[in-house]
């Protein structure tokens, strides 16, 4: 029977929580392959086995597992008999079956054996030599211990022997959900999707909140954010996006506050609303894509003034990253092409020509005395729209109409709640 052997790395270190981490990882693997022909997902002596049925398409399985957090690497695997001849025959038979495709590319290989069953009559180096010699004779490939085209693994367990072919890199990080939930302020820009991904990778379930000025401005930023949320859902499998109407709040700020303070005031309002929302959705921290000095609102002084209005921790995973580094990561993630589509971000609305780079808390507080802050937060919080995203997409795909438009409704992956 075909299966995939998944190796975890970091979670193996988590002491008494280990079974819980492994359970979460197994759950993620089940969810990520829910629509594929996977027969079982089972912890197996320091690894997890994912059983593949005849209908499982390897490239699809590989793509799915490659995105699951908490995996060091994984490889295709099959069972073999206990004798070295049987092991070599099984591997050679499998290679023949895989056919010319694989053989074209492979000219070198390596065998690594490990024995969880210490009563096995041969040592690991002996197994490697014996099986390796037979594979060399059967294929004509040369042995390359350093960087082989094909890495072959043999694992001897007490009641079972199996081999693995090739080794696919995992996504690393910690299994989704093991670090709790956080709420990421997701703009349509380049940075915040990368910030969200960083926290996802560390085991957080990341919820998203987007502030938009629709219908005062176009709904482009909202549509981009939905697309980004949908894309990031391929990693954490279930996401929720909250969309907050922010245009009226900005208009109120514009009418009453000194222009240089506007951006900081917008941000403080966003933080207050986000914190309220976090309380309602169990998020333990807020996340932003800010990085020191990138724009006027991101000086240390302004970040401090923005922080002042919330008590939840504000995580800024990109704080020390250059734009170029962030951009590269966004490209790798696939969010970059969505982020660069022109939009009318709500913060481009009424942006002053000279924003304050060092807003003073007393000035900001004075400006807010003219604003009905609590009332604005209450009103915005009362009107929030929620949208859920799931991956893999549900087969029945019944999608309700999206309040305020139907851009997301056409996508089967998106379900209104």
Which stretches of the chain bind Mg ion, using CB under 5 A? 187, 189
* 183 to 196, 207, 208, 316, 326: CA distances (angstroms): 9, 5, 6, 12, 20
Query: 194 in helix, strand or coil?
Result: helix
Chosen residue from 114, 251, 294, 416 binding ligand ATP by CB under 6 A = 294
Contact status, residue 165 vs residue 94, Cβ threshold 8 Å: yes
Binding marks (x or -) toward ligand ATP, 179..198, rule CB under 6 A?
Answer: ------xxx-xxxx------
Strand 238-245 to strand 205-212: parallel, antiparallel, or no bridges (unpaired)?
parallel
Taking the least distance from each CB to Mg ion, the nearer of 176 and 187 is 187
- Token pair listed for 199: 């926290």
Q: Does 346 bind ligand ATP (CB under 6 A)?
A: yes
Q: Distance between CA 195 and CA 326 in Å, rounded?
A: 9
Q: At closest approach, how far in Å is the CB of 318 from Mg ion?
A: 12
Only one of the segments 22-30, 34-42, 341-349, 384-392 lies at the binding site for ligand ATP (rule: CB under 6 A); that segment is 341-349
Exactly one of 230, 275, 290, 368 binds ligand ATP (CB under 6 A); that residue is: 290
Shortest separation between residue 311's beta carbon and ligand ATP, angstroms: 18
Residues with Cβ within 8 Å of residue 220, at least 6 apart in sequence: 188, 341, 342, 343, 344
Of 42 and 323, nearer to Mg ion (C-beta) is 323
Q: Interface with ligand ATP includes 297 (CB under 6 A)?
A: yes
Which residue number is nearest to Mg ion in terms of Cβ?
Answer: 189
* 3-class state of residue 258 by DSSP: coil
**Smallest distance from Mg ion to CB 221, Å:** 9
Q: Quote the CA–CA distance of 240 and 233 in Å, as a whole number.
A: 9
* Least distance to ligand ATP, CB of residue 294, Å: 5
What the block records as the tokens of 47 is: 């690894």
Give how many residues touch ligand ATP by CB under 6 A: 19
Nearer to Mg ion, 237 or 286 (CB): 286
Q: Contacting ligand ATP (CB under 6 A), which of 72, 295, 351, 399? A: 295
Using DSSP's 3-state secondary structure scheme, residue 262 falls into helix
Give the helix/strand (H/E) hosting 248. Answer: helix 247-256
State the Cα–Cα distance between residues 153 and 136, nearest whole angstrom.
15
The contact set with ligand ATP (CB under 6 A) reads 185-187, 189-192, 210-211, 288-290, 294-295, 297-298, 345-347
């Amino acid at each position: 029977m075909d299966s995939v052997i998944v190796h975890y790395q970091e979670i193996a270190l988590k002491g008494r929580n280990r079974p819980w981490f492994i359970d979460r990882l197994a759950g993620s693997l089940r969810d990520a392959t829910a629509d594929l022909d996977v027969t079982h997902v089972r912890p197996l002596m320091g690894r997890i086995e994912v059983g593949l049925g005849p209908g499982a398409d390897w490239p699809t399985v590989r793509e799915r597992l490659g995105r699951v957090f908490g995996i060091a690497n994984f490889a295709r695997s099959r069972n073999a008999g206990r004798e070295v001849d049987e092991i070599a025959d099984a591997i050679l038979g499998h290679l023949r079956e895989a056919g010319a495709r694989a053989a074209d590319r492979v000219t070198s290989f390596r065998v690594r054996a490990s024995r969880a069953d210490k009563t096995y009559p041969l040592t690991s180096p002996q197994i490697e030599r014996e099986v390796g010699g037979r594979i060399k004779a059967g294929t004509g490939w040369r042995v390359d211990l350093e960087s082989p085209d094909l890495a072959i693994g043999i694992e001897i367990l007490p009641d079972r022997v199996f081999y693995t072919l090739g080794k696919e890199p995992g996504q690393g990080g910690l299994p989704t959900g093991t670090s709790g939930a956080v709420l990421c302020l997701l703009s349509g820009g380049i940075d915040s999707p990368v910030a969200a991904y960083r926290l996802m990778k560390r085991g957080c379930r990341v919820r998203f909140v987007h502030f938009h000025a629709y219908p005062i401005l176009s709904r482009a930023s909202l549509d981009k954010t939905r697309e980004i949320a949908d894309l990031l859902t391929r990693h954490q499998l279930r996401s929720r996006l909250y969309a907050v109407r922010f245009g009226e709040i900005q208009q109120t700020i514009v009418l009453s506050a000194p222009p240089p303070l506007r951006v900081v005031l917008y941000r403080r309002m966003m933080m207050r609303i986000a914190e309220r929302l976090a309380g309602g959705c169990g998020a333990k921290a807020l996340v932003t894509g800010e990085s020191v000095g990138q724009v006027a609102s991101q000086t240390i002084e302004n970040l401090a003034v923005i922080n002042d209005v919330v008590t939840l921790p504000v995580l800024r995973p990109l704080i020390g990253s250059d734009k170029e580094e962030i951009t590269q990561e966004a490209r790798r993630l696939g969010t970059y092409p969505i982020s660069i589509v022109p939009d009318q971000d709500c913060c481009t609305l009424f942006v002053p020509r000279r924003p304050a780079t060092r807003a003073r808390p007393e000035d900001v507080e004075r400006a807010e005395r003219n604003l009905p802050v609590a009332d604005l937060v209450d009103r915005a919080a009362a009107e929030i729209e929620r949208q859920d995203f799931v991956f893999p997409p549900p087969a029945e795909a019944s999608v309700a109409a999206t309040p305020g438009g139907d851009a997301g409704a056409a996508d089967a992956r998106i379900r209104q709640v």
